[in-house]
Amino acid sequence: MASSSSSGLTFKLHPLVIVNISDHFTRVKSQSHPRRVVGCVIGVQCGRTVEIFNSFELLYDDSTHSLDRAFLEKKQELYKKVFPQFYILGWYSTGSDAHETDMIIHKSLMDINENPVYVLLNPSINPAQKDLPVTIYESELHVIDGNPQLIFVQSSYTIETVEAERISVDHVAHLKPSDGGSAATQLAAHLTGIHSAIKMLNSRVRVLHHYLLAMQKGEIPLENSLLRQVSSLLRRLPAIESEKFQDDFLMEYNDTLLITYLAMFTNCSSTMNELVDKFNTAYDRHSRRGGRTGFI
């Protein structure tokens, strides 16, 4: 791998890409699968400037180091419908450095982009490092020991943000506990409360489960009153699968959608009335101006 690129391209990376890669890795790691994640980066290229706006996940096979092309083409088609101006610029992954196996994935994307970029995020925490743990690589053809080989070369980049991203990043930056233990924002406080409630419910269910197992094994005497309460609690669970529950749920869901649609129609009608009033005002002024000109 060479030290720096000589292509002369200027790369602009948006914070949304870094947030997406970090979120992808965090979700995979929380599922007890500490493996690398792979996805595509999309954006636009204007002349020698490459601006990376967004990214999406891909299905990756660790054993064969290959991508699910059917899934990639489907995601590409969906993104083209929403963002027709965006193109696949390359791919991303996680790790401390680029490896030879990464070139297999890199070459497989050359039929989509002849010169794809490789965005690598290092998920390991280094408190002494002040720079972002993100590296952008390009591929160049070098002659090594008389054989032409495609290798990764590191490229410099700058962080480019729009107003919406600056607001979002600032909001995420303040999502941290204060000195008193409560979160700094209402969203974080709400999520903390939900987490505490689920944690308490889980601990109580675990205690009840261990108690029933000990009662089944004969380690503690049977308590019929407790068993009746547990049986009553368990009989409530199939209630959400009954036909009456489904009918009530669908009715409430449809009422909510109806209210949402009415609010949308009201907003559209109000906007249309404002547009008609402005058109009538402009049309009346034009008619009066034309009448005076004809009279003169």
Residue 69's alpha-carbon distances to 61, 66, 87, 108, in angstroms, are 11, 9, 16, 9
pLDDT of residue 120: 92
Percent of the chain with pLDDT over 70: 83
How far apart are alpha carbons 143 and 133 in whole angstroms? 30
What mean pLDDT comes out for the span 3-21? 82
Helices 15-30 and 163-173, packing angle to 10 deg: 40
Please provide the average confidence, as pLDDT, over all residues in the chain. 80
Q: How confident is the model at residue 34 (pLDDT cuts 50, 70, 90)?
A: low
Confidence of residue 142 (pLDDT cuts 50, 70, 90): confident
CA–CA dist 91, 108 (Å, integer):
11
Task: Identify the residue with better confidence: 82 or 292.
Answer: 82
User: Each residue of 75-116: pLDDT tens digit?
Assistant: 888 888 888 888 899 999 988 888 888 888 888 888 888 889
Question: Across the chain, which distance is largest between two alpha carbons, in Å?
Answer: 110
On the CB side of 20, CA atoms within 13 Å amount to 23
pLDDT of 92: 93
Q: Distances from the Cα of 211 to the Cαs of 158, 203, 206, 215, 222, in angstroms?
A: 59, 12, 9, 6, 10
Confidence grade of residue 176 (pLDDT, cut at 50, 70, 90): low
pLDDT tier for residue 173 given thresholds of 50, 70 and 90: low
Q: What is the band of 285 on the pLDDT scale with cuts at 50, 70, 90?
A: low
188 φ/ψ angles, rounded to the nearest 5 degrees: -65, -35
Estimate to the nearest angstrom the gap between the alpha carbon of 262 and the chain centroid.
30
Residue 179 reports pLDDT greater than 50? no
Per-residue confidence band for 41, with pLDDT thresholds at 50, 70 and 90: very high
> Percent of the chain beyond pLDDT 90?
8
